[in-house]
Each structure stands twice: as structure tokens, then as C-alpha cells.
Amino acid sequence: MNNKQQILIVEDEKGISNFMTSVLTSNDYQVLKCQNGKEAVSLTAANSPDLILLDLGLPDIDGLEVLSRIRQWSDVPVIVVTARGDETEKVKALDLGADDYVTKPFGTLELLARIRTAIRHQQKGYNPLETDKISIGELVIDLVKRKITMNGEMVHLTPIEYKILVLLAKNIGRVLTLDYICKEIWGPYTNEHNALRVNMANIRRKIEVNPAEPKYIHTEVGVGYRMMEEV
């Protein structure tokens, strides 16, 4: 019996596809691959892979269209592979239900870390909502007592700052778009990107040693924020 996790690579650039294949096979994943969108949809239906690496620029159907077709029936983790500078595409992909993205050119460690995070979030039994405490480095968020400590010292956050921090922590390792965070914090009818930036600056001032080079919450330029799993 084969217990390896199976990853579908959808990529029309041979060099990148081969690179990803060798990284994945040497890290004990099983690889399926194709070079266009139509095949991606049918291979997903036929094989139910554990994760899909989806290039957005495909020769037949656009990658975003592939993603929305797959999302009609499947919640398989999807990491989109994008070109540098395509921030709008990244946001669209996340809004369509992508779990994450990597930007070309990406490194082996980054790719593997993103895959592990996306698969773990998918697995049943992983539910950070049910934990009482989230610890990252020196930062501890006690969800029951609603208390934040840094190096054992209390951190005083406003209610909004607390909500933002907890939202990111509950999605640890994943990028959340600015729109998504704003809707979760301020409701569906607002677009408070500016208020979010101000609150984020305040949170960083309180939890980061050097707010200009944040370790705990990274900015994904033009996209959103990501709380790191390891610092």
C-alpha cells in the first residue's frame, strides 16, 4: 500500500515542472503532472490529489478559471504559482479559494513549508479554534483568558487589535487578504484598509522587537498579512 501524499503539478513550463517534481519526489511525495487547465480539472476529479500546485498562466484555460471549476466540488488545498508582481492575481486566487501562493522564482524550503502548512490545515483534527493557547516564539495568546504575553510580560491590546491578532493566529501560516481581514473585523459593508494598517502598526509596536522588521506578522505586499508559524 502506498501512503505517500499525492501532489498534482499543473505547470506548462517544463523547467519549473521538473524542478518541482524533483523537490517533491525527493521529499517523499508522489507526483502527478499536467501542462494545461483542462487536464488539471479532469486529473483532480479522477485522482483526488492531496494538494495542487497550480500555475496561473496556462495555455488553454486561465489558472483562476481552473481554480473556480475545481472549487465547485472539491476543497483540495491549492497553492497557486504566480509571476512576481501579480498582486491582483494573488488576491483573486485567494478570494476564489486558493490556500496560498508561491511567487516565481521560489526556493525549495519555501515550497515545502507552504505545502506542509496547506495540507495540515486541510487535515481533519487540526483546528486552532479549539485550542486554548497559541504560542509562537515568545508570543503567547491565551484565548480563554483573552490575554497576550510577550516574553512573559503582559501585552495590552485594544479590542480591535486583539481581534486582528487572534484572526491571524487562528490562520497561522496562511496569508489573509486585506479585504478578508477587514470584513472579519469590521463587517461586510466596510473597506477599512487604512484602519487595518494603523491597527497593524500598533500591534507590531507592542509585540515586535523591531516593528520595522516584523518577525511575527509579515506583510505580503499588495495582498495582506501572514502570521508566521516559526520565528
Between 92 and 206, name the residue whose CB sits nearer to Ca ion.
92
Q: How far is the CB of 15 from Ca ion (least distance, A)?
A: 11
Nearest-10 crossing angle of helices 37-47, 63-71: 30
Minimum CB separation from Ca ion for residue 127, in Å?
35
Question: Residue with the closest Cβ to Ca ion?
Answer: 57
Nearest-approach distance from CB 71 to Ca ion, in angstroms: 20
Q: Which of residues 159-218 bind Ca ion (CB under 5 A)?
A: none
Which DSSP letter does residue 4 get?
A: P
Nearest by Cα to 174 from 119, 106, 134: 119
Q: 3-class SS at 217? A: strand
CB of 19 to Ca ion, least distance (A): 13
Site for Ca ion in 50-109 (CB under 5 A): 55, 57
* Residue span binding Ca ion (CB under 5 A) among the ranges 4-12, 30-38, 76-84, 177-185: 4-12
Q: Which is nearer to Ca ion, 105 or 188 (by Cβ)?
A: 105
Q: Which residues contact 34 (CB under 8 A, 6 or more apart)?
A: 8, 9, 10, 40, 43
Q: Smallest distance from the beta carbon of 54 to Ca ion, in angstroms?
A: 10
Distance CA 140, CA 131 (A): 12
Give whichever of 58 and 91 is closer to Ca ion, judged by the CB atom.
58
* Contact residues for 172 (Cβ-Cβ < 8 A; gap 6+): 128, 134, 136, 227, 228, 229
**Residues touching Ca ion: how many (CB under 5 A)?**
3
Q: Record the cell numbers describing residue 56, joined without a space.
A: 496561473
Residue 155 pairs with which residues in a beta bridge?
A: 148
Task: Rule CB under 5 A: say whether 12 interacts with Ca ion.
Answer: yes
Of 78 and 139, nearer to Ca ion (C-beta) is 78
Q: Which residues bind Ca ion (CB under 5 A)?
A: 12, 55, 57
